[in-house]
Amino acid sequence: MSDPREEFLAGERPEDVALFLADSYVSDDRLAEFGDAVENGVLIVVDGERGRNAFQAATGTDAMAFAKNAMGLEGVIEDDLTGGQCPEASTDEDHAVQFVFAFAEEQNEDVGGIYADGDVIHAYAQCTCGTAYSDRWVVTES
C-alpha cells in the first residue's frame, strides 16, 4: 500500500498539496481521518484543488495568497512539514508552527538553480507569533 505522505515528501505527487495543522491551532479529531496524526498535529496530503479548499476552510486564508505573503521571509521548515524555526525567534515570544501549506515541483533543468538539481518542495508556515515564512529544498534520496 502506498503512503501519500512519503510519496509527497519524495516529490512523487506534484499534483497534490500537503497541509500540516497543529493541535494547538485546530482541535478537530476528525481531521485525522483525512491524513496522518503526527506528534503535534495532523498532516494531510490531497489533490491540489481539494487541498487549497481545505486550507482555506481550516485557516480562513486563501492558500496561494498565504504562500505569496510567506515568500517574502525565509525561515526553516522541517522536511517532514510538522515544525520549523521562525525567523523572528530572537524575540522573547513563544514560537511554534501553527500550520504549513506545501507543494512539490518537478525537476526542471531549463529553469536552473535548485530546480535543475531535482524535485523541489515549497513550504509555507505560519508561526504563533503571527509571522509567515517560507522554505524550499531539493528532495533527496533516502
- Tell me what pLDDT residue 119 has: 94
pLDDT bracket for residue 1 (50, 70, 90): very low
pLDDT tens track for 34-60? 788 888 899 999 998 888 988 898 889
Task: Please work out, in degrees rounded to the nearest 5, the angle formed at the alpha carbon of residue 21 by the alpha carbons of 73 and 121.
Answer: 50
Q: Using CA of residue 138, residue 139, residue 140, residue 141, what is the dihedral sign? A: negative
6 C-beta neighbours (distance < 10 Å), count: 13
Displacement of CA 94 from its chain's centroid (Å): 20
Statement: the pTM of the whole predicted model exceeds 0.95: no
The total number of structural domains in the chain stands at 1
| 37 vs 10, residue with greater confidence | 10
Domain that holds residue 25: 4-138
What is the rounded CA–CA span in Å between residue 49 and residue 89? Answer: 33
What is the rounded CA–CA span in Å between residue 7 and residue 60? Answer: 27
**Cβ(126)–Cβ(98) under 8 Å?**
yes
pLDDT tens track for 108-134? 999 899 999 999 999 999 999 999 999
| Helix (H) / strand (E) containing 4 | helix 4-9
